[in-house]
Structure 1
């Protein structure tokens, strides 16, 4: 089965073609980061308009790259939420139109399920059940993934997502957008002993997160250094190091608790922040060895190119659901800007 995947949830236009027998055949991605950087963040209307311009040429590019025609495609998968409503509608309308015109089924994919399943595209993929840390600009979630579509929420951010906190902290320091990669790069030159930021909600039981107070602590630290305009490059590097250390250690502590609580031996990490090198290293270090009688944990994550939004994860997730018998029967076009992952329908047919 060959499935065309379309991703337009935010500021990247992603298209890919996945074959259940041969794997990923072709993919293309256009990032709007440069356009939105001028405004310090994503402008929804600009994002939607750019998806309209980029999407169909990218579809043609992927088809040409794979050497396929419409007759070779068995289904179309698209991101139906969560995300920016206007951006989602662009991808949904295009996907449903292509599926109708080609006479093949379409399937709506949850954006975060796409991220969750992305590590399964790698060699030696993890198997259900496992614990998943989904950490991006819009979401920070800990889930127990029991099977495809059967997800139990363990903990989530009560305010800002980790990626959002990175972006806001970077803006406070005048680093520009997107903030995560800029803070991580700068943190490499930072002095880890100069500042110590709090690890929010780690002094109490539970698996929920909160990063708003960490932003406030960062803002106060900048003020103590004389304000954004007075910061030296070393000041910025030291603050970036302290901020990144705090976020990473908080995530690691919560993941360790989740593994102990569930008893699973596999942690899947996905989403844009999963590309953070310090986070990957700390998780591997913290979970690789048995602790308090618990078995060592295998940590799985996708390649760097599949951490951020992309069409490959949507094509793959759609292929799994189509193989499980799911498809849209009506011709309506509906998207959900907010869509809890736990509301998904489990796939009961073997895939």
Structure 2
């Protein structure tokens, strides 16, 4: 911090020197005497902003200090010291900033997009050069113009809200947002607002549409299950798990997805996760004989309570005993 204050001191000193009157060559005083002497108005203005910013900074009013350092940058965008001090003040404000961002994300999670926009704009007013806030403001303004709030708790709107949270929320996941909004539109094709949200997302992330391999006549959910199945056939079990986990975010109770997820985990020898997936499926479809067979076979290969490491040790011990 000392080097920042030192930089600030030298910078203000430089402004002071720039503001001092100078005599013309030869020592002759300019016509009109001292009245002709003038200071650089920009240097004086910047010195005033820096003085006020530094005063607020030393008293712990970091938001006000940031306001004045932003005034410095608006007057002269090359002021590195002001930019550095803004970052330092933001770091000190991290605690209160986290609380405000938490309140914003909670509004997004609830589908209250107009209220979230108001919250973000109040945050941005105290820190107008924060690029993260600017990005969230733009996104939230786009969504709230389409739907100020989640209009209902239908299945399609619940899925869309989850997708929008992946776009506007704490952890950005544009791909899931894309899948969720498209799936919501498939469930409610008459809801034009979903289509507008998809278009807005594609505009910000054009690679989503460019890289999409889903056939037009196949649903988002079925496509993810099909892609996962091909991964399993090709012994690409980790990509299969990723696709299936994504499908479960859209439809947590899809029996086929749970079956395939259990199979993928079985191939990875992650028996606890395989059992969990199949048990969830069996609870939803208790008369499914295939699941009964799967779980019985798994119980023989890896009895409940045994970890993957214990199963491997048992197999190794049996192998050494037979030799």
Q: Do the structures match in fold with TM over 0.5?
A: no
- Greater radius of gyration (CA): 2
| TM-score normalised by the chain length of structure 2 | 0.26
- Give the structure with the larger strand fraction: 1
| TM-score normalised by the chain length of structure 1 | 0.25
- Give the structure with the larger helix fraction: 2
Higher relative contact order (CA 8 A, sep 6+): 1
